[in-house]
Amino acid sequence: MLADPALRPGWPATLREGAVELHPLRRSDAAEWSRVRLANEDWLTRWEPSGNQPWARRHTPTAYRAVRRRVLQRARLGLTLPFTVRVDGRLAGQVTLDNVVRGAMRSGNIGYWIDRSVSGRGVASLAVALVCDHAFGPVGLHRVQADIRPENGPSQRLVERLGFQREGLFRRYLDIDGDWRDHYTYALLAEDLPGGVVARWRAGGRG
């Protein structure tokens, strides 16, 4: 049985700007997702949650389908908004607005990864900007939080250029790449950028 759509405003959705498109995870993406993730192991491992299985086993098409089922079940309950990122029609990453809380908080955590072959072209920052505008608009959130390791300078610069503000340090916050890692916490509020986050990106907040 499908959850009440009122539990998940703004979902499902497709977001676009130029050659970049974001859409919900599709079953047909399995083989392409596996290929991209396997090709980016060295690029991504340092920033990814620890796993009990080798990278290759965690990134088969079968593994993707299992993860997709679990994620979309949570999406139907309004707890997460998982997007695939495509550039010129080719799968190039993901952006997920997760841990969505309603009520007085109206908050969510944003996470993302991007294919190394398109890094440095503003794709990741545009994808994050699109999701933030969607979060503050149709989804109805007030706060988007991004938690980033102190060692990840490029990711910190990305969110800072989009208007996120650093609010503090979480000690040994997440189990990443085999150990508990400190994270800086950044946040963007709906009223911080009245013109929108994509407008900020267009004005030069690219990364």
1 occurs within a structural domain: no
- Of the candidates 113, 156, 157, 110, which has an alpha carbon nearest to the alpha carbon of residue 131? 110
Give the span between the Cα atoms of 27 and 70, in whole angstroms.
Answer: 12
The number of distinct structural domains making up the chain is: 1
- Single-letter residue type at 193: L
Give the span between the Cα atoms of 176 and 149, in whole angstroms.
Answer: 9
Q: What is the mean pLDDT of residues 167-195?
A: 98
18 occurs within a structural domain: yes
20 occurs within a structural domain: yes
What average pLDDT is seen over the chain?
Answer: 96
Give the span between the Cα atoms of 206 and 136, in whole angstroms.
Answer: 20
113 occurs within a structural domain: yes
Which run of H or E residues covers position 113? strand 107-114
4 occurs within a structural domain: no
> Does residue 42 register a pLDDT over 80?
yes
Q: What is the mean pLDDT of residues 20-37?
A: 98
207 occurs within a structural domain: no
Question: Tens digits of per-residue pLDDT, 51-81?
Answer: 889 999 999 999 999 999 999 999 999 999 9
151 occurs within a structural domain: yes
> Does residue 1 register a pLDDT over 50?
no
Domain containing 190 — which CATH number? 3.40.630.30
Domain assignment of residue 41, given as a range? 12-202
Beta partners for residue 147, in sequence order: 185
> Does residue 37 register a pLDDT over 60?
yes
Question: Tens digits of per-residue pLDDT, 112-127?
Answer: 999 999 999 999 999 9
Q: Enter the tokens of residue 26.
A: 């599709």
